[in-house]
Amino acid sequence: MLLDHQPFWRAMLVLSAAAIIYLATTSQPYPIPSAASDKVNHLLAFLQLAVVTRLAWPNLGKPWIVIGLLAFGIGIELVQAQLPYRTFAIADILADAAGIAIGLLPCPGFIRPHKQDNQSIAHANSRQ
């Protein structure tokens, strides 16, 4: 099943991050359709990153996902602050955080820990 194919999702995460970096730093008009509100674009981009990260590393704790993706978003804003045609915006980081939060909502049957790790957890619990 594709949902359990972590190498695919890891490649998708790298491609997604590269596309987001390009879109966040280009001076050209966006080559793809985007929302009228920049904040909606941020929310959707980071929601997608959160979901793909969960699929790429199903056993990675949610705090690590939040830290990693927020660091990525803050890094983008810091780069944009150095570009003459972009600006640093706290509101963008808040929109990123909202997208991450939505992307971390429970998804029963869609995003789940890897079967092998569930057995390890059950084994560890049985020894207690």
Both structure tokens of 50: 């959160």
Instruction: List, for residues 5-45, the tens digit of each pLDDT value.
Output: 999 999 999 999 999 999 999 988 766 666 668 899 999 99
Say if 54 falls within a structural domain: yes
Instruction: Let me know if residue 26 belongs to a domain.
Output: no
Per the structure, the complete domain to which residue 52 belongs is given by 2-16+37-126
- 84, part of any domain: yes
Local structure of residue 1 (DSSP, 8 states) = -
Number of structural domains (the chain) is 1
Question: Quick check: is 24 in a domain?
Answer: no
Tell me if 65 sits within 8 A of 104, measured CB to CB.
yes
Q: How does pLDDT run across 72-122, given as a tens digit for each residue? A: 999 999 999 999 999 999 999 999 999 999 999 987 666 666 555 444 444
Q: Could you say which DSSP state residue 5 is in?
A: -
| Domain annotation covers residue 22 | no
Look at residue 123 in the predicted model and tell me its pLDDT: 47
Angle formed by the axes of helices 62-82 and 90-103, nearest 10°: 150
C-alpha neighbours within 13 Å on the C-beta side of residue 93: 18
In a domain, 25, yes or no: no
Distance CA 94, CA 3 (A): 29
Between the alpha carbon of residue 110 and those of residues 3, 36, 54, 106, the distances in Å are: 7, 30, 10, 9
- The answer as to whether 28 is a domain residue is no
Strand (E) or helix (H) holding 65 = helix 62-82
Residue 74 lies inside a defined structural domain of this protein: yes
* Residue 1 binned pLDDT confidence (cut-offs 50, 70, 90): confident
